[in-house]
């Protein structure tokens, strides 16, 4: 999301203040606390009454992509979001979410958890972007549930990383549901932990999980990518990382577990560095070393 267009967001919160909730005919958007009060059935997802967060219920086919935006601008702000997104049957939606700083922020934290329910025959494209100041702690933790024949294309990408970043996603797929998940992170002075889990519960379900992680200046990465095949299903884990700083470390752990003889799940993992051959080639084309490295990293994160 271009921050110049933040006023177009359908839900926009800055620090602890909701700045905008748009009126969308086909969609009900509420603060999570209001949804907890209005809909008793939502409480099984929220648990205890949430202090902050958003509730998005897509009832009919929306005419435009949906946008959410959450920002921190103040000092020592501690956000704790509990979100709920429900997409009714047979819909096709695009959702773009942006979380990050729009001003210098010191010792802020953004912790967000939630549930995304995609009902039968619906198709969701979800792009989730983060951009943070260095002195932040950020912890998104989401559970996705895909009903029969549902589809999810999910991308999580950072443009600037905080000092501590922990990303957890769990996706459960019922019969013939399909998921593609991509985690794209360029760490700079960051302690990064990620855990994505795909559960292929229904017959004919499938999943692809791709990690592209850069261990830049003074960073550490620990990444766990898991896929559980509980039925006649198929899946693949693709974990790749580049180390661009001598003081950085990477640990990649792909795990596949098959509980059905008809399932087929595979994985691959690699940790590498930028080759001198690539650098030399780009420098002969007139690029500086820094420009060449940035170009290689940009290509690595574009999948």
Read off the pLDDT band of 165 (50, 70, 90).
very high
The pTM for the full model equals: 0.93
Q: What's the chain's average pLDDT?
A: 94
- Quick one: pLDDT at residue 5? 56
Mean pLDDT of the 211-237 span: 97
Does the pLDDT of residue 259 top 90, yes or no?
yes
What distance separates the 2 farthest-apart alpha carbons in the chain? 65
H helical segments located in 22-177: 32-38, 43-46
As a whole-number percent, the residues of the chain with pLDDT over 70 amount to 98
Mean pLDDT of the 190-209 span: 98
- Quick one: pLDDT at residue 2? 46
- Quick one: pLDDT at residue 1? 43
As a whole-number percent, the residues of the chain with pLDDT over 90 amount to 84
> Token pair of 86, please?
């429900």
- Quick one: pLDDT at residue 210? 97
């Amino acid at each position: 999301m271009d921050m110049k267009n933040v006023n177009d967001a359908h839900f926009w919160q800055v620090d602890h203040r909701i700045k905008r909730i748009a009126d969308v005919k086909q969609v009900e958007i509420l603060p999570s606390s209001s949804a907890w009060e209005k809909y008793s059935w939502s409480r099984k997802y929220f648990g205890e009454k949430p202090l902050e967060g958003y509730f998005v219920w897509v009832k009919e086919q929306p005419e435009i992509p949906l946008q959410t935006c959450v920002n921190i601008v103040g000092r020592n702000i501690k956000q704790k979001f509990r979100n709920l997104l429900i997409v009714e049957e047979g819909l096709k939606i695009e959702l773009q979410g942006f979380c990050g700083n729009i001003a210098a922020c010191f010792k802020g934290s953004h912790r967000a958890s939630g549930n995304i329910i995609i009902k039968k025959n619906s198709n969701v494209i979800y792009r989730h972007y983060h951009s943070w100041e260095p002195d932040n702690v950020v912890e998104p933790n989401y559970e996705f549930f895909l009903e029969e024949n549902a589809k999810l294309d999910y991308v999580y990408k950072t443009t600037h990383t905080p000092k501590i970043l922990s990303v957890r996603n769990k996706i459960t797929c019922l019969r013939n549901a399909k998921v593609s998940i991509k985690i794209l992170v360029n760490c700079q002075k960051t302690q990064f932990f990620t855990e994505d889990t795909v559960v292929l519960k229904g017959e004919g379900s499938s999943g692809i999980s791709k990690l592209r992680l850069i261990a830049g200046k003074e960073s550490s990465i620990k990444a766990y990518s898991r896929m559980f095949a509980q039925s006649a299903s198929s899946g693949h884990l693709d974990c790749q990382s580049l180390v661009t700083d001598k003081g950085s470390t990477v640990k990649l752990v792909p795990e596949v577990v098959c509980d059905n003889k008809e399932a087929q799940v595979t994985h691959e993992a690699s940790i590498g560095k930028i080759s001198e051959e690539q650098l030399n080639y780009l420098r002969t084309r007139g690029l500086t070393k820094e420009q060449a490295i940035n170009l290689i990293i940009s290509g690595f994160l574009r999948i």
